[in-house]
Structure 1
Amino acid sequence: MTQALIRSDNLRGAGLMIVAMAAFTFNDTTIKSLAGSLPLAQTIFLRGLISTGLMVGVAWWMGGLRLRLPRRDWGLILIRSFADLGATFLFLGALFYMPLANLTAILQALPLSVALGAALFFHEPLGWRRLLAIAIGFIGVLLIVRPGADGFNTYALWGLGAVGFVTLRDLAARRLSRETPSVMAALVGAAVITLAAGVATLVDGWAPVEAVSGGKLVLAGLFILAGYLASVAVMRVGEIGFTAPFRYTGLLWALVLGWLVFDEWPDGITLIGAGIVVATGIFTLYREELAARRMRRASVAR
């Protein structure tokens, strides 16, 4: 009976992870379709107003609106928020000028960069197998980016910068205490991004918002909310070691939507690089889960 329940929870968790990745990728597709219609800062600002408003409602509903948090956590939330700000501008800036699947493939290196960052800054154990996987994974990233090659898109460097900022964001989130609701951290981040984008519109300019563009912005805000809710629910259902690899379905969504909406399809070398990144990322997640299980068994034995 217990095994059946675990299997059922794992399947639910996998489904939620697929939904979360689909929602985030549909958001990216919607935002990319606004390129040429609205300036980047205005797009981020208007989407931020919508998503932040929706998130306030969700935080209130979940009982996550807490201002009395430890000072240390507020510092980590601010670090996380400004890292999220850098990642948002770099990612969406690259998204306006890069194929959706190519940029999404670059972001699949996140499990590798987070594992490396945790080892460097938090001294978390990192065996030779994961080190080798990380090295091979970054070779895959180079195949996607191909600096110096003909047709190299300089905005790919923006994508790599976004990976760096998201890594910092996730490392800061790891250090938050359990009493700080994740929805509160996400809400502060969304508010910081919205405020900064509003200031940036003074320089970047403002364009009239037509009905179609407005509808797309509302849709993007709803996709962001759906992705966030699904990703939070994943953490409460099933085993992380089982559900985490399903985050790579985001690349499949990006391939399909890039082809259907923008008539984009990566070349063979990019697909090989993406395959290497995904394979090494899954292996890294698998090794992390094995290490976590050993630590849990050791703590129980003591």
Structure 2
Amino acid sequence: MSPNAAGALLMMASMAFFTLNDTMLKLTAGEVPLFQLLCVRSLITCGLILATRNRLGVLHFRFGRRDWGLIFLRAAAEVIVAYCFLKALFNMPLANLTAIMQVVPLAVTLASALILRETVGWRRMLAIAVGFFGVLLIVKPGAEGFNVWSLYALFAVIGVTVRDLLTRGLSPGVPGMSVTFMTAASVAVAAGLASLTEDWVAIDWDTGLMIVGSAVFIMGGYFCSIQVMRVGDVSFNAPFRYTGLIWALIIGWLVFGEWPGLLTQIGAVIVVTTGVFTFYRERKLSGR
């Protein structure tokens, strides 16, 4: 198998794992308070990372003050993302939320141009503008389909964009698994403190299995997303990120009986198409 083929399979696997994680969490909606759910899931994730230490990737914490600062800022962004994403996940169709999240690569490209002063040509800027128009079709501002949960999804997009920009600033020597562990630990601590404002509930066997399954799937997603950065051409692998929308459509229909409306479908196609075009232009310019 060529490196690019392996990378494409890893990217598709990571999207499948992340979507299955979202499915497990959505199935627990209402059974466990949100902050308790986040705390327990994150603690299990930390345990899995420690149990697989140095198998999925190097794990150490010997890095400089600047990297520590970026990691803590990134962890704070992840706490906001986790909260906003789950609030949206529990209250809107899985495919709709996933379609909105597909705009993240476009948002990162735009933020890189505005904040990091990276060069972005007019073609990619036009693709970004069209992509955001696709998001408007999905969230339907001013229409009956738009509600506060759509705002939570958009806040999650902003949080992920900030998180990814902070990740770009990390030194190459900082292990991905170390960043993953610090992120999960930060979410566990923040959610644990926030959960003091609400009563914890007993977790039954079925709900507990879903939470454990969520932790396992998100670890699979982390592992594949880390490995894909080491195999093949990143610009070739990146468009396969959009297979997450296919997974969300299939699982949303089979598990929750959800299917997005026509405007949402059109918006999703626009977002995916503009995203793929952006990656194509980046690859073409890199080759030049």
How does the TM-score come out when normalised to structure 1?
Answer: 0.93
Aligned letter for 1:168? Answer: V
Q: 1:260 aligns with which of 245, 254, 258?
A: 254
Q: Which of 18, 29, 33 is the equivalent residue of 2:27? A: 33
| 222, 226, 246: which one aligns with 2:240 | 246
2:208 equivalent to 1:214: yes
1:153 to 127, 147, 156: 147
> Structure 1 residues 228, 63: CA separation in 2 closer, same or farther (over 3 Å shift)?
closer
Please give the secondary structure, in 1, of the residue aligned with 2:174.
coil
Match of 2:138 in 1: 144
Q: What is the deviation of 1:13?
A: 0.8
Contact 2:84–2:156 (8 Å) recurs in 1: yes
Unaligned runs of 5+ in 2: none
Q: Which residue of 1 aligns with 2:171?
A: 177
CA shift, 1:140, in A, is: 0.3
Partner of 2:7: 13
**Which is further off, 256-265 or 65-74?**
65-74
Q: Give the partner amino acid of 2:22.
A: D
| Counterpart residue number, 1:83 | 77
CA distance in 2, matches of 1:67, 1:235: 21
Q: How does 1:85-100 map to 2 (within 5 A)?
A: 85-100=79-94
> Deviation at 1:65?
2.6
Shift in Å at residue 204 of structure 1? 3.2
Q: Deviations over 1:125-165 (max 9, x none)?
A: 01000000000000000000011102323201100000000
**Is residue 2:197 matched to residue 1:203?**
yes
Residues 79-131 of structure 1 show CA distances to partners (whole Å, capped at 9, x for unaligned) of: 11111111010001110001000000000001100001111111000100000
Equivalent residue letter for 1:35: A
Following TM superposition, by how much is the alpha carbon of 1:288 offset from its aligned partner in structure 2, in angstroms?
1.8
* Aligned-pair CA distance for 1:63: 6.0
- Choose which of 86, 95, 110 in structure 2 pairs with 1:101: 95
Match of 2:112 among 114, 118, 141: 118
Aligned to 1:167: 161
| Contact kept in structure 1, 2:139 and 2:145, CA below 8 Å | no
Q: How many percent of aligned residue pairs carry the same amino acid?
A: 51
Structure 1 stretches lacking a partner, 5+ long: 295-302
Distance (whole Å) between structure 1 residues aligned to residue 47 and residue 264 of structure 2: 38
1:22 aligns with 2:35: no
Q: Considering only aligned residues, what root-mean-square deviation do their CA atoms show, in Å?
A: 1.2
Q: Is the 8 A contact 2:57 2:176 kept in 1?
A: no
Give the TM-score taking structure 2 as reference length: 0.97
CA 121–132 in structure 1, closer or farther in 2 if over 3 Å, else same? same
Question: In the aligned structure 2, how far is the partner of 1:103 from the partner of 1:63?
Answer: 30
Aligned to 1:298: none
Secondary structure of 1:132's counterpart equals helix
CA displacement at 1:241 relative to structure 2? 1.6
Q: 1:240 corresponds to which letter in structure 2?
A: V
Supply the distance in 2 between the matched residues of 1:65 and 1:224 (Cα, whole angstroms).
Answer: 18
* 1:66, distance to aligned residue in structure 2 (A): 2.1
Secondary structure in 2 aligned to 1:36? coil
Q: Which amino acid aligns with 1:270?
A: T
Distance in 2 between residues matched to 1:208 and 1:29, nearest whole Å: 21
Cα offset, 1:62, TM superposition: 5.1
Tell me how far 1:67 sits from its aligned partner: 2.0
CA contact (8 A) 2:45 2:184 kept: yes
Residue among 44, 48, 52 paired with 1:50: 44
> For residue 236 of structure 1, what is the aligned residue in structure 2?
230
Instruction: Note the C-alpha offset of 1:71.
Output: 1.0
Task: Single out whichever of 137-146 and 58-67 deviates more from structure 2.
Answer: 58-67
